[in-house]
Structure 1
Amino acid sequence: MQQANALNRLDRLPISRFHKVTLLAVAFAYFFEFADINSFATTAPKLIKLWGLSVDQVAYVTSLSFVGMFIGAIAAGSLADRWGRKRALLWTTLFFGISSFAAVFSWDLVSLGVFRVLTSAGLSAMTVVGVVYVNEMYPSATRGKYQAYAIAIGICGTPVTNLIASLVVPLNDWSWRLVYLWGSLGILLVFFAGRLKESPRWLESRGEHAAADAVLREIEASVAAEKGPLPEPAPPVTETPSTKAPLRLLLQKKYLMPTLLLSVLWMTQTIGFFGYSSWAPTLLAKEGFSVEKSVFYVALTTVGAPLGCYLASLVTDRFERKWCLVAFGTVIAACGLLYGLTFNPVLIIVFGFLVNLFERGYTALAYAYSPELFDTRSRSLGTSVSYGLGRLSNAAGPLIVASLYTGHGYQSVFYFIAGTWLVGAVALAAFGTRTRSARVAAAERKGVGVPV
């Protein structure tokens, strides 16, 4: 049959119950990703006392977790291209949930480290698939906003988990295990399975036009029943059906520069964010704050995270995403440095709050920006490789942090983190691609316009 015209048929749909259910499912997966991603950071201060761990041992486990994230991200590209976006989203979420559940039964640092590597692989894989899935299922003119909405809901998993950890970790010598049990609840995503649709754009990219058309008809029927008759889509743009994208595809000139730029973006984001979030409770405890206070202070700062995603939703489709990322990255560098230069509890909470606010806004913007730099064939591969390289880079990050802390003290860590964020901002300013014109064109085809 003829091309299904998935992009234009999806672009002209008004936001409906279908989009909201999809948003809720992806946000649910994100919630437990963010709930689980800092589990080790919130339990490490307790394990240092129980198991006699050193800062270097904490660093090694954290580093290995990022190796797991790299493996998961790279695998995600292949899984999403081979299995489809929906199936890959479900299986990667199940994988990290089961791995987190296994961590409940850890008996020493080695066993916990193995389970954390497996969990981290699943978390990273799910994130890559989720980013691509949202990019392909929502109208071009508003996908950034809904990507931010999904993260705004999902990021609530961080403060909720940190608050839970601040309550349960100090209870007794085994209660830290409940943090990993909580993180495993992402497996409940299976209850959304029947409500999710496969990406018609993925089906179409494989030449499965009949299957893509069938999914599109289901979506269109549900939207039309709720919103009324739908406008005619713009004429299709011919695309050559493709099979699995080989890794060498990214060496082609049109893909190499976006891959390199996004690798820098995710490297600086990963080292900058996890250098802060993974180490803040431990370093505060090392500087004389009690375990209870250090975890509680960090929990309070993460309240800024959902607000940051909401802030991103206000600007992501209104302005050029590249410049929003540059601005957010610069502010994070300044606030993160000020966080490290004070030992006043109120200022720690204030600057930590601002770091979380702008960092999660930055992440929401980056999730929307990254897949836009690739076409359908290369989107999953390009996103997974650049995201994976970013996560792999932080295998060295914790070792650098531990070395800086041991050799030069607490504040040197935050000079390093601030510098990392500035490198990312400069790279984006100098080499970042503008994507707003393409979104404006999509909105004009749909006839809705883009806010200015």
Structure 2
Amino acid sequence: MSQPTALREKPAAAPTPTIGERIDKMPITPTHRRLTAVVGVGLLFDTFENNLAGTISKVLQEDFAFNGTTLKLVLASAFIGQFFGSVILGRVADRYGRRRAFLINLALYSGFSLLGAFSPNAAWLIVTRFFAGVGIGAEQSLSDCYLADVLPAKQRGRYTAWAYTLAFCGVPAVGFAALWLVPLSPLGIDGWRWLFVLGALGSAVVWVLRRNLIESPRWLAANGHEQQAHELVARMEAEVPTAEHPQPRLQAEAGQPAPTHVEAPAPTSVKAPAPAARLREVFRARYRRRTTMLWLFCTLSVVGYYGFGALAPQILAAKGYDVVTSIGFTAVSFVGYPIGALLSVPVMDRMERKRLVALSAAAMALSGLGFAYATSPTLIMALGIAYTLVSNIFSTASHVYLAEQYPTLIRAQATGLAYSLSKLSAAALPFALLPVLDTYGPGPMFGVIAAAMGTLVAVVLLLGPRTTGVAVDHD
């Protein structure tokens, strides 16, 4: 006897997709583009800050009559501050949210950079540079984690590369602004002081823009705020044309009719794990290999990256060029930074990330050695541009790769901890590389840099996992 139709077994309902699955299936929306742009503009002032002291180091040395030790402290102070900022604000981002950490870091940077403009002596400058560094220290790791949180997996590399293309416009900006302002004294104020004012005011504008950033839906879901997470994702899904919308497609595949409008799935209660236990995960067996790789990677990467950006005027002075000419050559070389980031856009999601990192690091070593031994102005500028170009393909790929290693619950803390090591390494650079430059010249100094980049290539290829197109909500 056949069962009545009403009593027939109903097909099982399709499982509700997680927040991460919904984000990863989503095409790029206007919200994604807006968030990428706001993050990119904030990063622009990070790159402006990181290259500021190095660009005007010779001017500061003359203005304050620095001795060698004081110059090293001025160059190192911001990076030491960034070490503390990366650790502290990474924890804030995982505990209290990405958006809140963004606002804290920019407020600190803007205030202390403005105070640095009024430095009456070297001690004041070193202290304000340190606290400005605390503020800006977490900017890149926070940005990397935030973009990894909100961007779909298949577009994550490409749109992060767009953010860094915008960001690295800050490097030639500080170079050409220094070339313009250093010989002048607008309103009777030394030109270099205006560079600090520009950084402070620009970051204050970005702070206002970032007040409108949404919180990371992945962070909200992972920390027990499911309702808010679903509402934010539903808003982004509503921006997608119906034919491309992931939710109707998932339901249609399950044999259910697609809704005519999008509603957030019913929230579930999730208890946030204790924050104190999270960071210990990086030392456990499942993450130990990638943690080892990242710590070595972050320590070595800045030797090549900041070894050029922070010391280029010193290198050119060692070749016999005066202050203004050195700044001019440096500014022209810095044009390669945004070009390199732009060139990384089309390849970022097509080539395995760790291979791209390794290839660009090897190219940095070769072009750096060429720059060190170049003698003609044309060759110096050409190789300088080549170095900064490949270094920003390297840098952009590195930022994407770094944020893909850990799950949402510990991403900002774990990434910030690894990234903080790069700041210690950067702070040590003037003490390690300037004596080599002063004693042996640019060639041996870039030999040290090339050796560091060669070691980095081996570490990434041997220990680094594949991440291109892989969901970030992994174990």
* TM-score when normalising by structure 1: 0.91
Shift of 1:378: 2.2
1:252 aligns with 2:258: no
Structure 2 equivalent of residue 230 of structure 1: 245
Residues of 2 paired with 1:175 and 1:227: CA distance?
55
Structure 1 equivalent of residue 195 of structure 2: 179
Q: Which runs of 5+ in 1 are unaligned?
A: 443-452
Structure 1 equivalent of residue 154 of structure 2: 141
Deviation readout 1:249-298 (Å, 9 max, x if unpaired): 22111122212211111111112211111111123124321111100101
Structure 2 equivalent of residue 445 of structure 1: none
Letter aligned with residue 70 of structure 2:
Q
Shift of 1:247: 3.3
Residue 328 (structure 2) aligned to one of 279, 289, 296? 296
Q: Which moved more, 1:299-308 or 1:46-55?
A: 46-55
Residues of 2 paired with 1:396 and 1:274: CA distance?
11
Residues of 1 paired with 2:87 and 2:100: CA distance?
17
Residue 60 (structure 1) aligned to one of 63, 69, 73? 73
- Larger Rg, first or second structure (1 or 2): 2
Q: 1:242 to 1:406 in 2, by over 3 A?
A: same
Q: Is the 8 A contact 1:326 1:429 kept in 2?
A: yes
Residues of 2 paired with 1:147 and 1:229: CA distance?
22
1:242 aligns with 2:258: no
Shift of 1:34: 1.0
Deviation readout 1:35-89 (Å, 9 max, x if unpaired): 1211111221112222212343222222232221111111121110122111211
1:87 aligns with 2:100: yes
Structure 2 equivalent of residue 162 of structure 1: 175
Residue 120 (structure 1) aligned to one of 126, 129, 133? 133
Structure 2 equivalent of residue 11 of structure 1: 24
Shift of 1:300: 0.4
1:426 aligns with 2:458: yes
Q: Is the 8 A contact 1:4 1:210 kept in 2?
A: no
Equivalent residues in 2 for 1:35-54, closer than 5 Å: 35-54=48-67
Q: Which moved more, 1:149-158 or 1:335-344?
A: 335-344
Residues of 2 paired with 1:431 and 1:39: CA distance?
34
Residues of 2 paired with 1:318 and 1:432: CA distance?
18
Residues of 2 paired with 1:374 and 1:240: CA distance?
20
Residue 119 (structure 2) aligned to one of 100, 103, 106? 106
Residue 344 (structure 1) aligned to one of 376, 382, 389? 376
Q: Which runs of 5+ in 2 are unaligned?
A: 1-14, 252-264
Structure 2 equivalent of residue 358 of structure 1: 390
Residues of 2 paired with 1:270 and 1:421: CA distance?
9
Q: Report how many residues are paired.
A: 438
Shift of 1:210: 1.4
Q: 1:276 to 1:229 in 2, by over 3 A?
A: closer
Q: 1:89 to 1:284 in 2, by over 3 A?
A: same
Shift of 1:189: 1.5
Q: Is the 8 A contact 2:83 2:424 kept in 1?
A: yes
1:384 aligns with 2:416: yes
1:415 aligns with 2:415: no
Q: Is the 8 A contact 2:102 2:210 kept in 1?
A: no
Q: 1:439 to 1:215 in 2, by over 3 A?
A: closer
Structure 2 equivalent of residue 206 of structure 1: 223
Q: Is the 8 A contact 2:102 2:142 kept in 1?
A: yes
Q: Is the 8 A contact 2:99 2:213 kept in 1?
A: yes
Residues of 1 paired with 2:339 and 2:438: CA distance?
34
Letter aligned with residue 227 of structure 2:
A
Structure 1 equivalent of residue 163 of structure 2: 150
Letter aligned with residue 215 of structure 1:
L
Shift of 1:440: 12
Residues of 2 paired with 1:8 and 1:322: CA distance?
24
Q: RMSD of the alignment, in Å? A: 2.4
Q: Partner of 2:138: helix, strand, or coil?
A: helix
Deviation readout 1:297-349 (Å, 9 max, x if unpaired): 01001111111111211111001101111100000000011111112211111
Structure 2 equivalent of residue 446 of structure 1: none
Runs of 4 or more above 4 Å deviation: 226-229, 233-236, 238-241, 439-442
